[in-house]
Amino acid sequence: MSIKKVTKAVFPVAGMGTRFLPATKSVPKEILSLVDRPLVQYAIDEAREAGIEEFIFVTSRGKSALEDYFDVSPTLEASLKASGKDDLLKILNSTNMDDGKIAYVRQHRALGLGHAVWCARRLIGDEPFAVMLPDDVITGDTPCLKQMVEAYEQTGGNIVAAMEVPVEATKSYGILDVSEDMGNMVRVKGMVEKPKSNPPSNLAVIGRYILTPSVLDTLDKKETGAGGEIQLTDAIAKEITTSNNVFGFRFRGERYDCGSKAGFLQATVAFGLARDDLKDEFSQFLNDIVAARKAAQ
């Protein structure tokens, strides 16, 4: 049986970003800048590297700035061109999306991640698709979603990105119950959303998924789970009982939780130090801070 190519990705970005207030009062969290690029740009670039051709954003009221970000800016482009700032013009053009490649659908009520994905069902159709949470920024020699697409081409089915977390942190994640460990891939026999106690493992699901369209059929039933929300992990877990085709993928790379303030700051430091144009000055600044604190103790 041939495996359909993954060419569509869903980006659930309807959240209000309350943990970043007051910044997110007027600016969508997804376009907060990590060094000099919005969070969502990192996700878009990762998706492009993985061969994604259609980008579906699930938005809500107050996200017009996100839509504007991916549009062309003739006045700014003309100004950069007239000033001979070709390098900046090239960077600007890389943020534009081709006509017909990007679509937006509204999630009118905050009913959970599963509901957000369900809102995109008509644009997904009967095809496998990726789901990417821009809050999770992942670095690696090979982009995370590309690693997953390569694995999917061998296995098909449903694949969730997974990483090991401390046992005490499992209550904050969807946790995998593993039936077979194959190294970077594990076969999953169960999934528990934010277990309060006795987690089946410490292998946590993070914000990258490749899913079959049958997941949408389960989401269509709008059954609620943890927190009274429609959970995506619950719908994926149903695939285990019906098709036994759910896998966890241990990606190679470093994940930063930019949905939290501490994680965002950690990512800022890591990405700043990785930049050739910033690392010397920035590392000296950090060293000076550490030295000053030690001297004050």
pLDDT band, residue 136 (cuts 50/70/90):
very high
The pLDDT score that the predictor gives to residue 254 is 95
Enter the pTM of the model: 0.90
Query: Residue 60: what residue type?
Result: S
- Tell me how far apart the alpha carbons of residues 194 and 172 are, in angstroms, rounded to a whole number: 5
Judge whether residue 4 has pLDDT over 70. Answer: yes
Alpha-carbon dihedral 227, 178, 125, 97, rounded to 10 degrees: 80
Query: Residue 177: what residue type?
Result: D
pLDDT band, residue 227 (cuts 50/70/90):
confident
The pLDDT score that the predictor gives to residue 296 is 87
What is the full DSSP assignment across 130-190? EEE-TTEEEE-SS-HHHHHHHHHHHH-SEEEEEEE--GGGGGGSEEEEEEEE-SSEEEEEE
Of 136-150, 171-185, 249-263, minimum mean pLDDT range: 171-185
Contact between 19 and 260 (Cβ < 8 Å): yes
Judge whether residue 115 has pLDDT over 90. Answer: yes
Q: What is the pLDDT of residues 231-283, one digit of tens each?
A: 898 889 888 888 889 999 999 999 999 999 999 999 999 999 999 999 999 99
* No. of helices (H) and no. of strands (E), the chain: 11, 13
- 3-state DSSP assignment of residue 33: strand
The pLDDT score that the predictor gives to residue 224 is 74
The dotted CATH code for 8-259 is 3.90.550.10
The chain-wide mean pLDDT, for the chain, equals 90
Percent of the chain with pLDDT over 70: 99
The pLDDT score that the predictor gives to residue 166 is 93
pLDDT band, residue 111 (cuts 50/70/90):
confident
Judge whether residue 12 has pLDDT over 90. Answer: yes
Please give the average per-residue pLDDT across 214-226, as a whole number: 83
pLDDT band, residue 1 (cuts 50/70/90):
low
Contact between 38 and 48 (Cβ < 8 Å): no
Contact between 43 and 134 (Cβ < 8 Å): yes
pLDDT band, residue 139 (cuts 50/70/90):
very high
Domain with CATH 3.90.550.10 in the chain: 8-259
| Nearest residue to 168 via CA among 195, 136, 207 | 195
